[in-house]
Amino acid sequence: MEYIILILAGILFATAIYNLLQKQLLRIIIGTVLLSHGAHLVILTMGKLKRGQPPILDDAVTDYTDPLPQALILTSIVISFGITSLLLVLAYRTAQENKTDNIEEMRGEPNE
Amino acid sequence: MIFAVLIPLVLALFIPLISKAKHKVHTGIFVLFIPLGIFLYFIRYIGNDFSPVRHTYNWIPSLNINFDFYLDGLSLLFVLLISGIGTLVVFYSIYYLHKTEKLGHFYVYLLMFMSAMLGVVLSDNVFVLYSFWELTSISSFLLIGYWHHRERSRYGAQKSMLITVFGGLSMLGGLVLLTVITGTTSIRSMIDQVDIILNSNYLPLILVLILLGAFTKSAQFPFHIWLPDAMEAPTPVSAYLHSATMVKAGIYLVARFLPIFVAYEWFFISVSLIGIVTLIWGSYMAVRQTDLKGILAFSTISQLGMIMAMLGFGTEAAIFAAVFHILNHATFKGSLFMVAGIIDHETGTRDIRKLGGLFTIMPISGTLALFGTFSMAGVPLPFLNGFYSKELFFGATTELSVTTNGLASFLSTAVPYLAVFGSIFTFVYSMYLFFGAFTGPKKFDLLKKKPHEAPIGMLISPIVLVLGVIIIGLFPNLTNGTLIAHAAQGILNSEIKPYHIHYWHGFDSLAFQMSLVVVGIGIVLFLTRKKWSNIYHVLPGKRSFNKVYDKLIQKIDDFSAGITNSYMTGSLKLYMSIILLTIIAVTFIIMFTTGGLTNISFDNLAEVEIIDLAVVFIMVLAALATIFVNNKLALIIITGIVGFGISILFVIFRAPDLALTQLVVETISMALFLLAYYHLPELRKRNETITTSATNTILAIGMGVLITLTGIAAHSSNWFNTISEYFVETSYKLGGGHNIVNVILVDMRGLDTLFEIAVLGIAALAIYGLIKVRKNKEAE
């Protein structure tokens, strides 16, 4: 199972990178979203999958899933949400001001 | 001793405060006491019974880098020059620099230089010496560029910086090699291990590197080109740094390492040859200059070449003469620079073609210049110190006896003739300098100001120096046993009896005959100057080392601009691609060279169920579809599918908190995406070239494969035990919660979460700003 998830993470990364290298802002944002999904899966897999019960203490349970990756991912999900929403608004405003959503057309002047 | 070295640097911190009151009291008056104090502190060491003093202060003991101050005769001579001339220069600058100038900057740089220079001549530790060495380059750069609004000042400052720092870095290479070979950072201990160094295979390289440092600093041919441009600095600086002290740091370095190299034949060849060539070229070019300070600059180059050559000879007589000339040169050249500054100050020009007949108006300055120039020329008069050292120099050239190698023995026979040849031009430019400015027809209508004699304060410093010229001239043996012999002893690292210097050697003395030849031919050449000056059209003609330097700088500029412009195109895509390519290449190389993929284990994996496969399959399809869909609504929905797929996987992998959070976040994200959907333009079909899409595909696949392989490699390794047990055990005991993930977030890694909230807060503020804040069109 772990290797299947790692391959899935690899595919998510590949599609994310491909989208990141596009010109349109919306695709780039989608790229960052996919990138964080992939990263979360990798972190989760590092703690091994499907071992023991959910990490909520209970006297009847002795074997728990690794709680540490989960804590890390939880932080990461929230941060990537912040980034996604900021990027979306930034894209909206940029497209409005510059009348384009193509980053190749947003270059500065030479020597700027 | 450390106080004496660092006090200028420490007090420099207070200069900005003091200089606030510069309109009431000239800042220089406060600064004056610093070099004076240092001079008085060190002058007590002068005497026949001087013996070296060593003070050590720890700095970085683990690297063997300490403030290891060693005061021997050579250091003492330099320390006295630095502080003595420093006092006179500061005094002179009080009258030279007007209160409206940026005095704070000037004195801070000057004090910085003073500390650095004292450090250079006192450090026994090579790395401390190097640090101070570079500090002198930096302060010289700042002082040359003091009037930074002038284009020539900036050019001169940059030139001196590039050339001397290039030499400094070469020298560092040589010092590192020496340290590696001898296993010590102390120059004294290196001298004790001279056999090891002389037998080392790296000896030629060490010699070249160290000499590069010395030759660039002391403006030796062909690195001399920075010194004439350094004359853009205020005159007190030229007198101090670019004549009396800093340019002699190279001389000091060669003298300091002389006991190590003196037995090595190529030391004699390279140092003597470069020294003699510099002597000739400097004096030859000085005759051609029209700027008073230009003449003095080339004259300094030439005199430094002469001292360098004497060090190269390496004989006891030559070393003695070299040290004597270091002292004498500082006195007469310092006074001449100050007189040049006075002329500039009082007439408004330094162009010798516009000057003439100044003696009637400026008799005191004229007299000072008379003593200075005649001493420099080596006119045989018993009250001019320059004559004595020049005669010792001639004497030393005739006593060379090298018989071993062809080149060296040829050089030792040629040296006396070359020395006479160079000194003839020295005589010519000295006469030219004095008679050109002070005698001849008066051309006062060409001057900007009406010339008059300088204020007495400005004259005091050059008068003191000229008194030095005369006193050393009248009583040449005064400084002999007390200072010069100790310095020569410090260079050679062996006992030396003080030489008795005579004025009169008799007509049969070879040195005296050489002096007569110089004076005789010199007078003829000076009088017929106009007739032979066409020779400068032949040599150097249009050739010039400045052009080589300018071309080189231009080429380097163009080259680096070419490289930078080739990738700094302003295209974010390109930057992204370069970064990704680097990550992929470096990580793959490391992974394969360290055998990261050698033992992949397939045991101890979780079992696979149908539902897992189904979710994974749908996510793969959705992820791939994001590339090919060209409808923005479809794209957003497909991305949502991936996000919800992730939350299902979280459920499967027993992470309830994650699943809930992901679900909520995904839902809100979708809502946001749909809001933006309304405002963002429709997706366009990609019409990119095959090369672009191929590059993108390769990068994307490369990165994907890299992540998968890294994950697999990491999963197969078990080098460290998991630390998760700790959290399971202490979650309730320390955190008081049953939900371990929650305890980790809010308790054990509470600060982390706090900053996470801060990040979200900042993002929220930024979003608010982006939406609400608009340019106020009317305010523009």
Residue A9 lies in a domain: yes
Is B639 in the A-facing interface, judged by CB distances under 8 Å?
yes
CATH, residue A79: 1.10.287.3510
Nearest residue, CB atoms, B711 vs list A6, A21, A25? A6
Q: What is the pLDDT of residue B210?
A: 94
Contact state of A13 with B668 under an 8 Å Cβ cutoff: no
Nearest CA-CA distance, residue A28 and chain B, Å: 11
Residues from chain A contacting residue B752 (CB–CB below 8 Å) = 75
Residue B587 CB neighbours (<10 A): 17
Percentage of the residues of chain B whose pLDDT score is greater than 90 = 38
Is A61 in the B-facing interface, judged by CB distances under 8 Å?
no
pLDDT band, residue B777 (cuts 50/70/90): low
Is A33 in the B-facing interface, judged by CB distances under 8 Å?
yes
Nearest residue, CB atoms, A81 vs list B665, B699, B706? B665
pLDDT band, residue B402 (cuts 50/70/90): low
Total domains, chain A: 1
- The predicted-structure confidence for B94-128, as pLDDT tens digits, reads as follows 888 888 888 888 999 999 999 999 999 999 999 99
Q: Which residue of A has its CA nearest to B617?
A: A8
Residues sharing a CB contact under 8 Å with residue B664, sequence separation 6 or more, in sequence order: none
Contact state of A92 with B605 under an 8 Å Cβ cutoff: no
Q: CA end-to-end span of chain A, whole Å?
A: 51
- The predicted-structure confidence for B601-636, as pLDDT tens digits, reads as follows 777 787 888 988 999 999 999 999 998 888 888 889
Nearest residue, CB atoms, B654 vs list A13, A50, A104? A50
Q: Residue B460, Cα to own-chain centre: how many angstroms? A: 34
User: DSSP string spanning B182-242?
Assistant: HS--BHHHHHHTHHHHHT-TTHHHHHHHHHHHHHHHTT-TTGGGHHHHGGGS-HHHHHIII
Is B634 in the A-facing interface, judged by CB distances under 8 Å?
no
Mean pLDDT computed over every residue of chain A: 86
Q: What is the pLDDT of residue B675?
A: 82
Is A35 in the B-facing interface, judged by CB distances under 8 Å?
no
- The predicted-structure confidence for B146-200, as pLDDT tens digits, reads as follows 998 889 999 999 999 999 999 999 999 999 999 999 999 899 999 988 889 999 8
Contact state of B763 with A96 under an 8 Å Cβ cutoff: no
Q: CA end-to-end span of chain B, whole Å?
A: 62
- R_g over Cα of chain B: 37
Q: What is the pLDDT of residue B403?
A: 60
The residue-averaged pLDDT of B13-30 equals 84
Q: Dihedral, CA atoms, B114, B120, B122, B125, nearest 10 degrees?
A: 140
Q: Which residue of A has its CA nearest to B668?
A: A81
Q: With 90 as the cut, is the pLDDT of residue A42 above it?
A: yes
Q: With 90 as the cut, is the pLDDT of residue B595 above it?
A: no
Q: What is the pLDDT of residue B778?
A: 52
User: DSSP string spanning B439-487?
Assistant: SSS--GGG-SS---PPPHHHHHHHHHHHHHHHHHHH-TTTTIIIIIHHH
What's the rounded Cα separation, in Å, for the pair B464 and B479?
16
Q: What is the pLDDT of residue B208?
A: 94
pLDDT band, residue B277 (cuts 50/70/90): very high
Residues from chain B contacting residue A52 (CB–CB below 8 Å) = 654
Contact state of B642 with A41 under an 8 Å Cβ cutoff: no
The residue-averaged pLDDT of B82-99 equals 90
Contact state of B573 with A23 under an 8 Å Cβ cutoff: yes
The residue-averaged pLDDT of B397-406 equals 72
E-strand stretches of B656-710: none
pLDDT band, residue B649 (cuts 50/70/90): very high
Contact state of B605 with A52 under an 8 Å Cβ cutoff: no
Reported pTM = 0.77
Helix/strand number for chain A, H first, E second:
3, 0
Residue A43 lies in a domain: yes
For A16, the domain range is 2-53+61-106
Q: What is the pLDDT of residue B503?
A: 67
Residue A46 lies in a domain: yes
Residues from chain A contacting residue B715 (CB–CB below 8 Å) = 2-3, 6, 45-46
pLDDT band, residue B391 (cuts 50/70/90): confident
Structure tokens at B332: 């007469």
pLDDT band, residue B81 (cuts 50/70/90): very high
Q: What is the pLDDT of residue B600?
A: 78
Q: Which residue of A has its CA nearest to B610?
A: A1
Q: With 90 as the cut, is the pLDDT of residue B560 above it?
A: yes
The H or E element spanning position B55 is strand B53-60
Q: What is the pLDDT of residue B617?
A: 94
Nearest residue, CB atoms, A77 vs list B662, B697, B712? B662
Q: With 50 as the cut, is the pLDDT of residue B744 above it?
A: yes
Residues 37-56 of chain A with CB under 8 A from chain B are: 37-38, 40-42, 44-56
Is A65 in the B-facing interface, judged by CB distances under 8 Å?
yes
- B580 by Cβ neighbours in 10 Å (0-12 / 13-18 / 19+) ranks as buried
Q: Which residue of A has its CA nearest to B683?
A: A24
Q: With 90 as the cut, is the pLDDT of residue A40 above it?
A: yes
Q: With 70 as the cut, is the pLDDT of residue B265 above it?
A: yes
Q: Which of B96, B437, B445 is nearest to B290 (CA)?
A: B437
Residue A112 lies in a domain: no
Q: What is the pLDDT of residue B296?
A: 92
Residues from chain B contacting residue A91 (CB–CB below 8 Å) = 676, 680
Q: What is the pLDDT of residue B347?
A: 85
Q: What is the pLDDT of residue B88?
A: 93
Mean pLDDT computed over every residue of chain B: 87
pLDDT band, residue B775 (cuts 50/70/90): low
Q: What is the pLDDT of residue B780?
A: 45
- The predicted-structure confidence for B493-511, as pLDDT tens digits, reads as follows 877 776 777 766 667 778 8
Residues 8-27 of chain A with CB under 8 A from chain B are: 8-27
Contact state of B680 with A95 under an 8 Å Cβ cutoff: yes
Q: Please tell me which residue, B186 or A54, carries the higher pLDDT value.
A: B186
- Interchain CB contacts (distance < 8 Å): A and B: 256
Residue A22 lies in a domain: yes
What's the rounded Cα separation, in Å, for the pair B553 and B562?
14
Residue B352 CB neighbours (<10 A): 18
Contact between B125 and B185 (Cβ < 8 Å): yes
Calculate the alpha carbon distances from B296 to B304, B373, B418, B527 in Å. Answer: 12, 10, 21, 20
The residue-averaged pLDDT of B744-768 equals 91
Q: Please tell me which residue, A105 or B780, carries the higher pLDDT value.
A: A105
Residues from chain A contacting residue B570 (CB–CB below 8 Å) = 107-108, 110
Residues 513-572 of chain B with CB under 8 A from chain A are: 570-572
Q: What is the pLDDT of residue B49?
A: 79
Helix axes B2-12, B103-122, angle to 10 degrees: 160
Task: Give the bridge partners for B53, in sequence order.
Answer: B71
Contact between A43 and A72 (Cβ < 8 Å): yes
Nearest CA-CA distance, residue B550 and chain A, Å: 24
Is B616 in the A-facing interface, judged by CB distances under 8 Å?
yes
Q: With 50 as the cut, is the pLDDT of residue B734 above it?
A: yes
Q: What is the pLDDT of residue B396?
A: 86
Q: What is the pLDDT of residue B159?
A: 92
- The predicted-structure confidence for A7-38, as pLDDT tens digits, reads as follows 999 999 999 999 999 888 888 999 999 999 99
